[in-house]
Chains A and B, each alone.
Chain A
Amino acid sequence: MTTLTLSATSTATAAQPSRNLLRDIRIVMARELKPVLRDPFSLLFGMIQPLVFLALFGPLLSGSMGGAFGDGVWQWFVPSILVMTTLFGTSTTGANLLSEFQTGAHERMLVTPLSRSSLLIGRALKEMVPLFGQAVVVIAVMTPFAFDLHLGGALIGLALLAVFGVGLGSFSYALAIAVRKQDWMFWVVQQTFLFPLMILSGMLLPLETGPGWMRAASKFNPLSYVVDAERTLFSGDVLSSAALWGWAAAIVTAALGLTVGIRAMLRSAD
């Protein structure tokens, strides 16, 4: 047991690092990614879901629209699926934090010297990783079919999606913190927001043929701008006004989400 005592004294002196936010964020992010990397099968499973949607919904879409899309259905629908994956993945991610509230893991981290904001930012940034993985799989699978890949636009599209996802993930964490004492509320609120947001974005079915009030409502939905932007970006049109609006929506969502999330995190010990 002499080794134990030895390194104990050496750690006591080493444990006085200068703290910086970036290091803390990196630590939190690495911790969040560990279970994903240790269990790649779960990641694989997450990647199958969007493919199933593509395979089962895509053909229906082109059929029911009376062939209005022609061959362009995948050009229209693949960006949708990527946004949908982001939406589902990041809006549910607060549940992970809820379980850390229940077990005590979150409390333990609050007593460590990690900064409170890093606990939120690190988690939110981690959302980009599985998202990127899923996107690559979807694009790789779809490219041999009638999907036309414009690499530059696609990469910019994914970057935009990542920014949006960080914001949405932050909101999800903020929700988890807000309802941590009645955790069933999490799913009620999440579902209440999820479906209107999704349908009013024109993600699954085009809104152009919908009633006027729906089109009006979609103007207030940040997700609509992201969906439109993804479609133009994936068709290679990098500098369209739709793309710029998409960036604006993503950046505003991320800024708001991070602000709300960090504020919630600061109060999460009570």
Chain B
Amino acid sequence: MISTRALTRDFVVSRTETVHAVRGISLDVEPGELVAVLGPNGAGKTTTLRMLTTLITPTSGTATVAGYDVTTQPSQVRRRIGYVGQGNGAGHSQRVGDELVGQGVIYGLDRRTAKLRAGELLDALELKDLARRKVSELSGGQRRRLDVAMGLVHAPSLLFLDEPSTGLDPQNRANLWDHILRMREQYAMTIMLTTHYLDEADSMAERVVVVDHGEVIADDTADGLKAKLAGDRLAVTVAPGNIARLSELAGKLPGAREVIAVGDEVSVRVADGPAALPELVAAAQRDGVPIAAAQVHRPTLDDVFLNLTGRSLREDSNGKAA
């Protein structure tokens, strides 16, 4: 569905300064995948998406989207993709229904079909009563749902979402995601989205592509990334006298690293926490080390990012992405 090879994009800021926003991204997305591109602001997520949606041309490299080259056949690409940008797709001075029907007509539907289709989407996205309302009068959540509806008018097989839930409160975010996932099932859509919300990439995407400084630095399922790049952390509490002994046992677990003892707690990173914990408890019992408490901490994608870059993603979650 999407295939890029060594895709780059430079922005000439001045005669002496060029920003390399994307520095060689090669990526393959199969039909039906739901891929989140995760990265800090300025990582090149949006620039990549803008190249894939034919808004800007790559400086070098190639990209095929929905079977067509983005540089040489942009109009073919445009017919086949849906796009929900960071802003609002519907004009603020327009009426909700007018914009949605108009979007259908743009994609080649006759007026009658476009009206029918707009009605269905308004219904499905809980915007039915707002068809005659002006776009500027909608709430943030309603406007975002309208953006999604606009992106779906022509039933594209591939949908791009650029930071779809930025600026929404948690309830509206959850609601928006319900709709997106339902629509995806109905249309068997491939979805690619950018986000800097860690939990969003974690819970929604089946595949997470981590981008930093214009390059892909990791690409796997969220669970795969965590197991490979962060691992689970076991935290086991024992009586102070047994700390040294327990640390030794913990170090013998398969794939154990970062064994740290603080106070009466020993923590250790392992690939598979739920399997390693009973093993450690059993070993401790055999050695006569009484365990007071034990926990498995599953890693977050932030741990993954931290391990990859030495920086936390949470440090810059404000401002606009490049």
A binding-site residues for B, Cβ under 8 Å: 1, 3-5, 7-12, 14-17, 19, 27, 30-31, 34-35, 38, 96, 99-100, 102-105, 107-114, 269-270
Contact = CB atoms under 8 A, between A and B. Distances in A.
Given A11-B107, A109-B106, 10 more contacts: A11-B109, A11-B154, A14-B110, A27-B102, A100-B91, A103-B88, A104-B85, A108-B90, A112-B107, A113-B106
Q: SS class of chain A's interface: helix, strand, loop or mixed?
A: helix
B93 interface: yes
Contacts, number: 119
A107 B109 contact: no
Contacts of A107: 55, 85, 87, 89
Interface residues of B, number: 47
A14 B83 contact: no
B192 interface: no
A10 B109 CA distance: 10
B19 interface: no
B76 to A, nearest CB: 9
Contacts of A8: 155, 186-187
Interface in B83-115: 83, 85-95, 98-99, 102-110, 113
Given A1-B124, A1-B186, A4-B186, A111 B81 contact: yes
B88 A113 contact: no
B85 A108 contact: yes
Interface of B: 50, 53-56, 75, 78-79, 81, 83, 85-95, 98-99, 102-110, 113, 116-117, 120-121, 123-124, 147, 150, 153-155, 157, 186-187
10 contacts: A1-B124, A11-B107, A11-B109, A27-B105, A103-B88, A103-B92, A104-B88, A110-B55, A111-B53, A111-B81
Contacts of B155: 8-9, 11-12, 15
B224 to A, nearest CB: 32
